[in-house]
Structure 1
């Protein structure tokens, strides 16, 4: 299974989007608090088949599945024993899907509630880093058995009603779960050496880009956070990712522009200014250079 990018013209998913909303909606999941596990086959809302997002980190392990899952304009065919990792704000939707499995949802505050946690627990943010291209993870049968045991242990701890007594135990079970997901991800990319290389600076850079991409488009801004020159930081990103810092920022700007064009009523000029561009004409040229279509053409193709 490989992801198939949805490109213009003839945008493959355009017929599925039947209305515009002013903002991309957040789906309310069936839990309150900072950690939850639920069976995905028992949860459905009107937003499930529409583009939506979540506030928290979500691991979706599909034990049995068919249909289509679209994540940020890329379509993936669903298969049994597949994991999707969704970060806060990531836009996705399920189409013609029959799914069984589990959703593990948690906040960063739950996992890293103190300094000791940050020093002792696996840094899951590296797992959710999409700068090396998003892709679901195929789960091997031995790993699936381990995941099942950890799911059962975490659900059992959730059933313990002694307030505050179970959060530490759950965090360590979740830590083990995330480590196993990371191991499966590495197995998935075993034939792609470029994706195996990990550099903590790249993870931090990705986080900085996510935080500042609307206001800061230049490599110099990001390089100063590492006490490096932009030339040296570009050498690092080229080695690890095959792209420059500017490429990373531009990729994020294009993705956000697509989201706003597809799922909001904002005008092209409004989107232009929101993303830190001063000239709408320049923004339109920038978008065309990266997508082979103008902002207006992209929006029209989504709904024709």
Structure 2
């Protein structure tokens, strides 16, 4: 029996658009707008910033459980599957936005891809919020919510400015939490981040590390060295892991055939896709689809 297809939410669902199509801002007090965050394993077509100001619970993202307590921020990219299961009533804010909000391509790269904040590969999507940062986020998000609900013109431009400020503060906080000030000066880290960003853009079409090395004007051995340094894996393993993650998402949440999923991920030969999946996951796509379950099959983040 095939799994029931998991919902994919669009940015216009659940909330009033307030004449703004590319960004939504709301507090958890607006239950009609935030109820989707508690729906069983769903996906979004948009980016999302979720600030849980206090409380505790478990946020499941891509079948991995992230327990949270106190003030935390979660960063989600389009296509990620998630569900918040609070043990205490959630308070905070949700910001949803489309990449089309950034009309400038350089801004898009700088704010969404540059520091891999919204990183589908090997990065924990949760950022603990310090007491000092708590006041900053409260101020910025309160202003964003007020602007979103105001009956004024040019709201999207103002909200984009606030969003850039918010993302910059999150990036600053994430770097402090990870004690990465010294690492941030390492040019090799930037190249590795560029590699991960390139994978995110092209993993459905390009399955070879050589293609990414050419894009980044570097050598395969350099990408291997950086991947081993920062993740303990080869560059090929990082790439394969991203392809596998997307395959697992597709098998988990919808009713596409295995052949269709393979084609969608750039595998022209269904048999090769099956071999790839089994080599990476230890089971065939069919076996994975038949055995994965939620919540029993969800893994706790280590």
Same fold (TM over 0.5): yes
Q: Is the 8 A contact 1:194 1:240 kept in 2?
A: no
Q: Distance in 1 between matches of 2:138 and 2:36?
A: 29
Quote the residue 1:105 is aligned against: 96
Question: Which residue pairs with 2:235 in the alignment?
Answer: 245
Looking at structure 2, the residues matched to 52 and 64 of structure 1 have their Cα atoms a distance apart, in angstroms, of: 23
CA 1:214 to 1:114, structure 2 compared with 1: closer, same or farther past 3 Å?
A: closer
Q: What per-residue deviation string (whole Å, max 9, x for no partner) do you get for residues 44-65 of structure 1?
A: 5467322212222211000123
The alpha-carbon deviation at position 228 of structure 1 amounts to 2.4
* Match for residue 15 of structure 2 among 27, 30, 37: 30
Q: Distance in 1 between matches of 2:207 and 2:79?
A: 21
Question: What secondary structure sits across from 2:41 in the alignment?
Answer: coil
Q: Match of 1:227? A: 217
Map of 2:130 onto structure 1: 140
- Return the offset for 1:132: 4.1
Match of 1:190 in 2: 179
Aligned-pair distance for 1:100?
1.3
Other-structure match for 1:93: 83
Q: Deviations over 1:131-184 (max 9, x none)?
A: 3422311111111011111112223333443312x4444333322222221122
Task: Answer yes or no: is the 8 Å Cα contact 2:37–2:84 preserved in 1.
Answer: no
Runs of 5+ consecutive residues of structure 1 not aligned to the other structure: 1-17
The Cα of 1:229 is off from its aligned counterpart by 2.9
Cα deviation for residue 35 of structure 1 reads: 2.0
The CA deviation string for residues 253-289 of structure 1, in whole angstroms up to 9 with x for no partner, is 1111111211122233333333233444443343233
2:62 aligned partner? 72
Contact 2:120/2:242 (8 A) holds in 1: no
- 2 CA distance for matches of 1:215 and 1:74? 26
1:233-265, Cα deviation, whole Å (9 max, x unpaired): 333433344333322221111111111211122
Deviation of 1:299 (Å)? 1.6
Normalising by structure 2, we get a TM-score of 0.80
Aligned to 1:15: none
- Equivalent residue in structure 2 for 1:48, among 15, 38, 41: 38
Q: State the SS of the aligned residue for 1:53.
A: strand
Structure 2, unaligned runs of 5 or more: 297-302
TM-score between both structures, scaled by the size of structure 1: 0.79
Query: Any conservation in 2 of the 1:237–1:243 contact (CA below 8 Å)?
Result: yes
The alignment status of 1:180 with 2:169, answered yes or no, reads: yes
Deviation by residue 1:200-241 (Cα, 9 ceiling, x = unmatched): 433433333223222221111111112223233333433344
Residues 197/178 of structure 1: CA separation in 2 closer, same or farther (3 Å cut): farther
Instruction: State whether residues 223 and 230 of structure 1, in contact with CA within 8 Å, keep that contact through their aligned partners in structure 2.
Output: yes
Alignment: residue pair count: 282
Q: Partners of 2:201 and 2:136 in 1: how far apart?
A: 35
Asked if structure 2 preserves the Cα contact closer than 8 Å seen for 1:122 and 1:179, the reply is no
Tell me the C-alpha RMSD between the 2 structures.
3.1
**Native 8 Å contact 2:24 2:95 kept in 1:** yes
Partner residue in 2 for 1:206 = 196
